[in-house]
Amino acid sequence: MIGEVTINESKVVIPFKKDVDLSNPSEWVAIDVNEANVTAVSSNPHILRFENNLRTIHTTYFNITRRIQKLKKCRPKTAERLFKKYSGRRKNRAKDECHKMAKEIVDFAKKHNMDIIMEKLKGIRRRFKYGRTLNRRLHSWNFRRLQFYIDYKAKLNGLPVVYLNPKNTSSLCPFDASFRHMSDIGL
């Protein structure tokens, strides 16, 4: 037995175990998560660009939140109710967009039996010091959520995921940077 089935008022949690073969495939795809899109470069070579709506979602809901904050002075209860409503929608739409993009990327990698390579972006938010507007935009960037979704979906499909140091990758095109990193790790 892996664990117990847990039931509460909103969900049922069923733990399971799945054996996954994470052997090294002969091909790979390097994923570069940007604010407005996701660029993928493969070893055979394919250069793919996955457009995302995350920036639009965050900007739209930021503007809605601003209007609600102005309403708060004269109608605080209405503003609180609207704020709760729209913040939930923003989170749900961002999660949904990340799931859809992760599925597209993993399906592509699975179709071509490719290893997935991504940048290790830990601590990137501490380096943002560009001004109020740009900082707000970059702090709402869902890079880690998208990487997490790609990681777990890839592992469920038996595809290995490797994280590399992103140092100096922005100064090169994604294709050259990926090949440089491949040689660094011996692929």
User: What integer pLDDT is reported at residue 23 of this predicted model?
Assistant: 58
Task: Give the Å distances, CA to CA, from 107 to 113, 142, 157, 175.
Answer: 10, 20, 9, 20
Question: In the prediction, which pLDDT does 124 show?
Answer: 66
pLDDT score at 103: 92
HEC letters along 73-110:
CCCHHHHHHHHHHHHHHHHHHHHHHHHHHHHHHHHHHH
Is the pTM of the predicted complex or chain greater than 0.75? Answer: no
Q: What confidence score (pLDDT) does residue 127 get?
A: 65
State residue 3's pLDDT score: 74
Which stretches in the chain have pLDDT values below 50?
174-175, 177-179, 181-182
Element containing residue 137 per DSSP (H, E): helix 132-139
pLDDT at position 138: 62
